[in-house]
């Protein structure tokens, strides 16, 4: 038996950074994200009689994939957890891949854990015709593998506080571009970042700041107040990166290239009183969300940069 599933990535505008104690990826504060349908992971699961344990292979036909030992262990442990949850018998060849290059500095954990959860759910349904899970329940299962993947179960907008995410109603469909900037600093995994940020003196106020920004952002989204959306998102990603830089030991992801891009974007806003929504993940790349009427100008802003975009030029 073989099943397949695919799931999109997402970019958080209010960030999940820091976890509640006790494991299981419960976030210290709520997060809100936009789903990136053009950046996807694909997973197939195939039962192999001869296998004594589950195995992982890269799924052919996609971008070559790089999985660290730690990343592979986390991925296969999630599959094991789902097999136990849904009483799926046997051993499987798990194959996965992304439609974006492994070396571009984009984390694939949200899309790959969501795709694995969906693939395992198909398998479970093939074994148990009465099994029905809601999207919210699947989101909770996915969170156990990797927190941010729980938001990839909803599109285009998702909010997550507590056990799992839910879709939220926002009357804004956006385009996305990520400017690929080379990071020249040693990278720290997001799991490590979650563990370290509470050593920062800025940490004690962090959950309150995230809650306050969530409220501001939701108001701005409902009013389609583009400038306020930009302002909240700008301060939110700087807040997360300030936590990184003030942790003990300190770490960070912004390179000269990042600072240069951020400066250009700020100049653009100062000049035009308009521009893209700007945010960053735990990496050197800069993510932009745009209204469809900005696409023509965005092709000019982005010329000369290496990018991945949701639209064709
Ligand atoms: C910076 O979901 O990768 O992207 O739960 O340990 O797997 P784990 O962490 P992960 O953290 C993502 C952090 C972030 C912000 C966000 O997506 O909200």
Ligand 1 atom at shortest distance from the alpha carbon of 15? 18
Pairing of strands 55-58, 92-98: parallel
Burial 84-120 (b: 16+ CB within 10 A, else e): eebebeeebebbbbbbbeeebbbbbbbbbbbbbbbbb
Residue recorded with tokens 């479970």:
124
For ligand 1, whether the C-beta of 194 sits within 6 Å is yes
Helices (H), 128-225: 135-145, 190-196, 206-222
Q: What pLDDT shows up at residue 102?
A: 80
| Ligand 1 midpoint to CA 299 (Å) | 29
Ligand 1 atom at shortest distance from the alpha carbon of 149? 2
Series of mean pLDDT values for 10-residue runs along the chain (313 residues): 96 98 95 98 96 96 89 97 97 97 83 98 97 98 98 98 97 97 77 96 98 98 98 98 98 95 98 98 96 97 96 91
Measured CA to CA, the distance from residue 143 to residue 118 in angstroms comes to: 12
Q: What pLDDT shows up at residue 129?
A: 96
Angle between helices 109-127 and 135-145 (to 10 degrees): 120
Q: What pLDDT shows up at residue 164?
A: 98
For 228, the enclosing helix (H) or strand (E) is helix 226-245
Distance of alpha carbon 213 from the chain centroid: 19
Distances (CA, A) of 265 to 172, 177, 294: 22, 13, 14
Measured CA to CA, the distance from residue 32 to residue 36 in angstroms comes to: 13
**Class of residue 202 by CB neighbours under 10 A (exposed 0-12, middle 13-18, buried 19+):** middle
| Ligand 1 midpoint to CA 194 (Å) | 8
Pocket test for ligand 1, best of 20, 113, 165, 190 (most atoms within 8 A of CB): 190
Q: What pLDDT shows up at residue 4?
A: 98
For ligand 1, whether the C-beta of 112 sits within 6 Å is no
| Ligand 1 midpoint to CA 51 (Å) | 32
| Ligand 1 midpoint to CA 267 (Å) | 30
């Amino acid at each position: 038996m073989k099943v397949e599933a695919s799931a999109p990535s997402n970019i958080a505008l209010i960030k999940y950074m820091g976890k509640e104690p006790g494991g299981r990826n419960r976030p210290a504060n709520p997060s809100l994200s936009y789903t990136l349908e053009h950046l996807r992971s694909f997973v197939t699961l195939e039962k192999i009689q001869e296998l004594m344990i589950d195995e992982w292979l890269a799924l052919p036909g996609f971008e070559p994939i790089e999985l660290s030992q730690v990343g592979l262990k986390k991925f296969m442990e999630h599959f094991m957890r789902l097999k136990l949850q849904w009483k799926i018998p046997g051993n499987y060849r798990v194959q996965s891949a992304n439609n974006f290059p492994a070396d571009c500095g984009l984390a694939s954990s949200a899309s790959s854990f969501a795709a694995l959860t969906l693939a395992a759910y198909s398998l479970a349904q093939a074994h148990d015709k009465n099994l029905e899970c809601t999207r919210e329940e699947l989101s909770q299962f996915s969170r156990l593998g990797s927190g941010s993947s729980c938001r990839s179960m909803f599109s285009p907008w998702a909010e997550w506080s507590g056990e799992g995410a839910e879709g939220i109603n926002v009357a804004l469909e956006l385009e996305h571009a990520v400017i690929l900037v080379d990071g020249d600093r040693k990278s720290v995994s997001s799991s490590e970042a979650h563990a370290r940020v509470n050593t920062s003196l800025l940490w004690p106020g962090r959950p309150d700041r995230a809650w306050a920004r969530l409220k501001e952002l939701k108001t701005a989204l409902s009013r389609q107040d583009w400038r306020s959306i930009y302002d909240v998102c700008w301060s939110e990603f700087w807040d997360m990166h300030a936590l990184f830089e003030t942790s003990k030991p300190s770490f960070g992801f912004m390179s000269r290239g990042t600072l240069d891009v951020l400066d250009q974007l700020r100049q653009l806003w100062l000049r035009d009183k308009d521009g893209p929504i700007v945010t960053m993940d735990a990496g050197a790349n800069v993510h932009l969300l745009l209204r469809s009427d900005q696409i023509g100008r965005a092709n000019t802003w982005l010329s000369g940069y290496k990018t991945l975009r949701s639209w064709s030029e």
